[in-house]
Amino acid sequence: MTIRNRMAPYLFIAPFFILFFLFWFWPVLFSIFLSNTDWSGVGKPEFNNLRNFVNLINDSVFHITVRNTLYIAVASILIIAPLALLLAILLNNRLIKFSDAIRLAIFLPVVMSLVVASMIFLNLLDYNAGILKYWLGLIGLKMPDLLSSEKLSMPTLIGILIWRWTGYNMLFFLAGLQSIPKDVLEAAKIDGANNFQTFIYVTFPMLKPVTIFVIVQSLIGAFQVFEEPLIITGGGPAYSSLTMALYLYNRAFRNLRFGYASAVALIQFVLILLLSIFALKVTGAFKKE
């Protein structure tokens, strides 16, 4: 390759890396620094040598947020992913005109802004006049007060997350299913496998990269759930629907405790990394095929 200008590639990647360094790399470093201080945004930050982390260990509200966030992560993997896979299988097999439309409908929640979606759910789930109450009434059930109940606020939140993300994950599984060569499936049929066996021994193993991707993405996403609890439940009642991300936001921008919030952010980051590595190991991403 004859390139006269040897600097060209460096100049081309420069915009990205300058932006990255300024707005992602440096902030991460600064975040680590901040997490060891007390700071309210004015004046100088005061070093407090890991006191934030010690306080975090004893912070019972923080424990609740960790529990809630893990709750979401687990639900994503055990409910959303399988449901997405199931829908992908259903849509992949029936070669009907409608599969495009159905796929569109299931995916639609993803493009609706979180603000609007949350607002609408606030409305639908309203204890007094929400349509859910009406429907439950039709089949003879009494409407529980979903948003003011400590026990039910989290399941409700998870229900909303299922509504939102199943379609998104379904798309990835669909793409994965469609990339499986037909001859492999036919070979299995010829060898005498029925549909179920074909799925378990042929299809599912071939979906491994997609499955890994979906799981890791879901984990990372679970830790970032912010808008829904902010708008729908405010984290309550009694912190029952408070996620880590919302807790971080409150501590930083409502309580103006930037140091403490940075400590939370750091823990969040570490947890995501650990969980992602764990998920990758468990699903065998590091094994050679």
Partner 1 sequence: MKTTAIKVILIYLFLLILISIILTPFLWLTSMSFKLRSEMFSYPPTFIPKKFTLLNYINTIKDILFVKSYRNSLIISLSDVLFGLIVCSLAGFAFAKYDFRFKSIFFSIVLVSMMIPFHVVVIPLYLEMKRFGLIDTYFGVIFPFLAKAFGVFFMRQFLVKIPDELLEAARIDGASEYFIWLRIIVPLSKPAFGVLACLFFVENWNMLLWPMIVLQSQTKQTIQVYLQSLIGVYRIDYGILMAGSCLAILPIFVLFLAMQKQIIYGLTAGAVKE
Query: What residues numbered 138-157 form the site for partner 1, per CB under 8 A?
Result: none
Q: Is 3 in the site for partner 1 (CB under 8 A)?
A: yes
Q: Is 165 in the site for partner 1 (CB under 8 A)?
A: no
What the block records as the tokens of 103 is: 């796929």
Please report the DSSP string for 139-162 in residue order.
Answer: TTPPPP--TT-TTTHHHHHHHHHH
The count of residues interacting with partner 1 (CB under 8 A) is 94
| CB-CB contact of 87 with 109 (8 Å) | no
What is the C-alpha to C-alpha distance for residues 223 and 76, in angstroms, rounded to an integer?
11
Segment interacting with partner 1 (CB under 8 A) among 3-11, 55-63, 74-82, 141-149: 3-11
Segment interacting with partner 1 (CB under 8 A) among 1-9, 55-63, 69-77, 142-150: 1-9
What is the C-alpha to C-alpha distance for residues 133 and 125, in angstroms, rounded to an integer?
7
Q: What is the DSSP letter of 44?
A: -
Q: Is 123 in the site for partner 1 (CB under 8 A)?
A: yes
- Contact pick of 51, 226, 236, 237 for partner 1 (by CB under 8 A): 226
| Footprint of partner 1 on 173-192 (CB under 8 A) | 174-176, 179
> In three state form, how does the secondary structure of 30-43 look?
HHHHHCCEECCCCC
| Footprint of partner 1 on 259-288 (CB under 8 A) | 261-262, 265-266, 268-269, 272-273, 276
Identify which of 276, 281, 257, 278 has the alpha carbon closest to the alpha carbon of residue 35: 257
**Phi and psi for 46 in degrees, rounded to 5?**
-105, 130
| Footprint of partner 1 on 4-63 (CB under 8 A) | 4-6, 8-10, 12-13, 15-17, 19-20, 22-28, 30-31, 34, 41
| Min dist. Cβ of residue 233 to partner 1 (A) | 12
- Contact pick of 56, 84, 117, 242 for partner 1 (by CB under 8 A): 117
Segment interacting with partner 1 (CB under 8 A) among 51-59, 60-68, 126-134, 183-191: 126-134
| CB-CB contact of 81 with 215 (8 Å) | yes
- Contact pick of 220, 236, 237, 280 for partner 1 (by CB under 8 A): 220
What is the C-alpha to C-alpha distance for residues 47 and 56, in angstroms, rounded to an integer?
16
| Min dist. Cβ of residue 50 to partner 1 (A) | 18
The whole-angstrom distance between residue 157's C-alpha and the CA centroid of its chain comes to 13
The residues, ordered by sequence, that sit 6+ positions from 237 with a Cβ below 8 Å of its Cβ are 148, 149, 150, 153
Whose Cβ is closer to partner 1: residue 121's or residue 239's? 121
| Min dist. Cβ of residue 198 to partner 1 (A) | 16
